[in-house]
Amino acid sequence: MMTDLDYLSLASAMHRLTEPAVSSAISLLPLVPGSRGLDVACGNGDHSLWLARAAKPDGCVFGIDICKEGLVRAIESAKSAGLKGELAFLQGDVCSIPFPDHIFDWVWCADCLWPGPRSQGFLGMNPLPALEELVRVTRPGGTVALLFWSSQKLLPGHPLLEARLNATLVACYPFQEGWDPRAHILSAPLWMNEAGLMDIRGRTFVADIQGPLSDQAQDDLQLCFQMLWGRAAEELPEKERENFRVLCSNCSADFIAANQYYYGFITYTIFTGRVAAGSLIIAN
């Protein structure tokens, strides 16, 4: 099982690779001067930092996460960026957000509402309870945004190997045969409709990864390869496993990302919905 610190190191690498796509998705938010936003499951705070910069002037962003180690890193990053007044963090659970009703103009939630078993670190097969919490803390007329890593092409020249890696049971885990098709991130508009959101829209952005890559980018890509396919490769025949090791290890002379003409991409898909103007919660 991945530790919090392992996850945070991986998150930093992934964010460096995907920042262009995520920043483009952030541009769809209604970040008017003075707006107040919430980054749910903020992790190491990278997205919170980008959101706070986009919300200037006079906007403020709160980030919540269940992981203490992530919040420590997030607070340090905010201080280093000089955003102490515009950005704040606290520990909190997406299923019980520690804020009162209807206080945020917008809520952002990235790569958190993936359906899956709780025993594997997911929130459960039904994302609706967590999504309803996001809606609860958003003001009438405000925006809820869900962001998901939705695809990648990272092994140029080796489409069969990449396809076979993606088709393994491990790689397909969140979309296993027999699961309800609604338990898929691209079904998020259905969830949002059930949560009472209106004007639901989806859009996909691309993070291009083009050589020659820096040493940091090559290291980040190796982590990405291992995250996506490290376990998946074990399901392949020995010849294909060896091909994966040769292509995807930065210790190899044939490391694919060391090619100065390398090109790959990662996509992020954002779904936005608006809270209905009359959707106030009435206390009993």
- The rounded distance, in Å, linking the Cα atoms of 246 and 240 is 10
Helix (H) or strand (E) holding 107: strand 104-110
What pLDDT, on the 0 to 100 scale, is given for residue 83? 84
Burial of 89 (0-12, 13-18, 19+ CB in 10 A): buried
- The rounded distance, in Å, linking the Cα atoms of 191 and 263 is 34
Helix (H) or strand (E) holding 190: helix 188-194
Per-residue pLDDT tens over the stretch 51-70: 999 998 889 999 999 999 99
Give the model's confidence band at 154: pLDDT under 50 very low, under 70 low, under 90 confident, else very high. very high
CATH class of residue range 4-153+176-210+266-275: alpha beta
- The rounded distance, in Å, linking the Cα atoms of 272 and 280 is 19
Lowest mean pLDDT among 189-203, 229-243, 266-280: 266-280
Torsion of CA 164, 154, 215, 234, to 10 degrees: -10
Question: Which DSSP category does 259 fall into?
Answer: S
pLDDT above 90 coverage of the chain, percent: 78
Inter-residue contact 270 to 205 (CB < 8 Å): yes
What pLDDT, on the 0 to 100 scale, is given for residue 173? 67
Lowest mean pLDDT among 147-156, 169-178, 257-266: 169-178
- The rounded distance, in Å, linking the Cα atoms of 239 and 243 is 6
Domain boundaries along the sequence of the chain = 4-153+176-210+266-275
What pLDDT, on the 0 to 100 scale, is given for residue 142? 97
Give the model's confidence band at 175: pLDDT under 50 very low, under 70 low, under 90 confident, else very high. low
- Residue 123: which of 40, 37, 204, 228 has the closest Cα? 40
Per-residue pLDDT tens over the stretch 101-110: 999 999 999 9
Whole-number mean pLDDT of the chain?
91
Helix (H) or strand (E) holding 204: strand 197-210
Per-residue pLDDT tens over the stretch 73-91: 999 999 998 887 789 999 9
